[in-house]
Amino acid sequence: MPANAEFSPASRLSGGNSPPRVWVVTGYRAGERAQILALAEALGWPFEVKELDYRPSAARISLFRASNLRGFRLDRSSQLTPPWPDLVITAGMRNEPACRWIRAQSAGRTRIVHIGRPWARLEQFDLVITTPQYRLPEQTNVLHNTLTLHRVTAARLQAEARRWESRLAALPRPRIAVIAGGDSGPTTFGRKAAGRLARQASALARARGGSLLVTTSARTAAAAVEALSAGIEAPVHFYRWRRGDDDNPYYGYLALADAIIVTADSISMLTEACATGKPVYMFDADRPPMLPGMAGDGERDFRLSGILYGWLMRWGPNRLSRDLALVHRCLLEGGHAVWLGEDFPDREPPTLRDLERALARVRALFAGQAELADFEFNAKTQ
């Protein structure tokens, strides 16, 4: 068969000999990249990862909804050549022109699945998988999930538990993981917020006779890292995030913790914490509680860009901002998490099945039966 031979998605699926050809056009943010790979891996179809190198003009080209490769340095990017894919999974505004160009090369046969919030009109995508903070409308090609897609599986947690168990064995139980994010939108996680988190987490660990497993992240500012480290007053294993570190204990913490505290600025980290099925406490950097005996707990970090973002959320178009409070509300109402300092409800929270719902909708693209897929999925999980 010629190298540039093409298959229609329907024929590849119905023929039974080969699954759809999948390209993963990776995101330029870590959270987006993780979601894209989570979906591609869970589908179980072979896929190729396409890395794109962006020119400074990439964002501008995306704004004008172009369908070309002018925003990319092709000599530094993965090859985009035939045979063209049946499915492209992507995220991020800057990737949209390349995905539209790929579909044009396939004479319109390539399906595009976008994760998050696209810039172009929703009608230009076969499926958009989104979460509440983006406030997208209800449409047949939009899947509204509670949380983001993730790569936290039972097998991965078991493997990481075996890897880290001996190194953390000296820490008394219960062990409470503390996952620190950083500035995001209107939320500022600076020195003062980090100090409050350290005091509240330490108080919880001491009250239970346990210990802390603390990790920072790529977005945690240096001043916040130091304040968090200095403020811990309980037995602790403290990890300072480093890029490309193969010895990062993040998944080990998730596996071995008995409860998890997550800063509320990161939806992806909240998702991964909830995926463990363990109690999850959200730390709100912008509305600190006034706790007796904890001096300074009413102080807030100042960040001008955070204030301006808050104004944008209030008066600007929805597509220019995210409202993370909508996700927090879903988690609280569903019993999946509570604010740090509050008690968990007695009832067991329902299992979050966002990934399964996404898989059903993607597979339905190749059968043309999205409604049937949703019906069958709901029938199996009720």
Residue 102 lies in a domain: yes
- Residue 347 has what pLDDT? 75
Do residues 139 and 171 both lie within one domain?
no
CA distance 233 to 242: 24
Flag the least confident range among 5-9, 159-163, 222-226, 342-346: 5-9
Which of the four pLDDT bands, split at 50, 70 and 90, describes residue 6? Answer: very low
**Single-letter amino acid code for the residue at 33:** R
Residue 188 lies in a domain: yes
Q: Let me know the angle formed at the C-alpha of 364 by 360 and 369, rounded to the nearest 5 degrees.
A: 120
Dmax over Cα atoms in the chain, in whole Å? Answer: 75
The verdict on 112 and 230 lying in the same domain is no
Tell whether 269 and 166 lie within a shared domain.
yes
User: Is residue 42 a part of any domain in this protein?
Assistant: yes
146, 179, 195: which is the final residue of a domain?
146
* Domain identity same for 164 and 241: yes
**Which of 12-16, 281-285, 295-299 has the least mean pLDDT?**
12-16
Q: What is the pLDDT of residue 11?
A: 46
Mean pLDDT of all residues in 219-230: 96
Peptide bond into 83 cis (omega under 30): yes
Q: What is the pLDDT of residue 18?
A: 81
Distance CA 288, CA 281 (A): 14
pLDDT, position 376: 44
Is residue 187 within 8 Å of residue 311, measured between CB atoms?
no
Neighbour tally for 226: CB within 10 Å: 14
pLDDT value at position 5?
36
pLDDT for position 315: 86
DSSP letter assigned to residue 265: T
> In terms of Cα–Cα distance, which of 326, 277, 273, 271 is closest to 148?
271
291, part of any domain = yes
- Examine the domain organization and report whether 269 and 184 are in the same domain: yes
Q: Give the pLDDT confidence score for residue 314 in this predicted structure.
A: 83
Segments forming the whole domain that contains residue 229: 154-339
Strands annotated E in the chain? 22-25, 47-50, 87-91, 111-115, 127-130, 142-144, 175-179, 211-215, 236-239, 259-263, 280-283, 338-339
Helices (H) and strands (E) in the chain, counts: 13, 12
- pLDDT by residue (tens digit) across 184-207? 888 889 999 999 999 999 999 999
Q: Is there a single domain that holds both residue 83 and residue 169?
A: no
pLDDT at 3 over 50: no
| 3-class secondary structure, 27 | coil
CATH code of 161's domain: 3.40.50
User: How high is the pLDDT of residue 63?
Assistant: 67
Least confident of 141-150, 180-189, 244-253: 180-189
Q: Pick from 185, 184, 164, 183: which is nearest to 175 by CA?
A: 164
Same domain? 132 vs 208 = no
Please, which pLDDT band fits residue 342 given cuts at 50, 70 and 90?
Answer: very high
- Do 33 and 104 reside in the same domain of the chain? yes
Please identify, among 146, 163, 190, the residue that sits at the C-terminal boundary of a domain. Answer: 146
Rounded (to 5) percent helix, strand, coil in the chain: 40, 15, 45
Query: How sure is the predictor about 287, in pLDDT bands with cuts at 50, 70 and 90?
Result: low
32 shares its domain with 164: no
> Residues 202, 328: one domain?
yes
**Least confident residue range of 63-72, 138-147, 316-325:** 63-72
Q: What's the rounded Cα separation, in Å, for the pair 242 and 64?
A: 36
Percent of the chain scoring above 90 in pLDDT: 65
Q: What is the pLDDT of residue 228?
A: 97
52 and 173 within one domain: no
User: Which token pair is 26?
Assistant: 């990776």
Give backbone dihedrals phi and psi of 50, rounded to 5 degrees, phi first.
Answer: -110, 115
Antiparallel, parallel or unpaired: β 111-115 and 127-130 = parallel
Number of domains in the chain: 2
pLDDT tens-digit map of 214-224? 999 999 999 99
Amino acid 373: pLDDT: 44
The answer on pLDDT for 66 being more than 80 is no
**Residue 229, exposed/middle/buried by CB under 10 A (0-12, 13-18, 19+)?**
middle
Percentage, residues of the chain above pLDDT 70: 87
Q: Name which of 115, 80, 113, 114 is nearest 98 in CA terms.
A: 80
d(CA 149, CA 353): 10
Question: Phi/psi at 55 (nearest 5 deg)?
Answer: -80, 160
Kindly report the pTM of this predicted structure.
0.83
**9-37: per-residue pLDDT in tens?**
544 554 456 889 999 999 778 788 999 99
Least confident of 41-50, 55-64, 204-213: 55-64
Please state, rounded to an integer, the average pLDDT across all residues of the chain.
87
Rounded distance between C-alpha atoms, residue 259 and residue 275, angstroms: 12
CA distances to 25, 91, 128, 146, 341 from 131, in Å: 20, 13, 10, 6, 26
Measured at the alpha carbon of residue 319, what is the angle toward residues 313 and 325, in degrees to the nearest 5? Answer: 45
Q: Examine the fold and report which residue of 116, 146, 176 is the final residue of a domain before the chain moves on.
A: 146
Asked if 261 and 340 touch (Cβ cutoff 8 Å), the reply is yes
pLDDT at 208 over 70: yes
pLDDT at position 145 over 90: yes
Mean pLDDT for 308-314 is 82
Residues 239 and 294 in one domain: yes
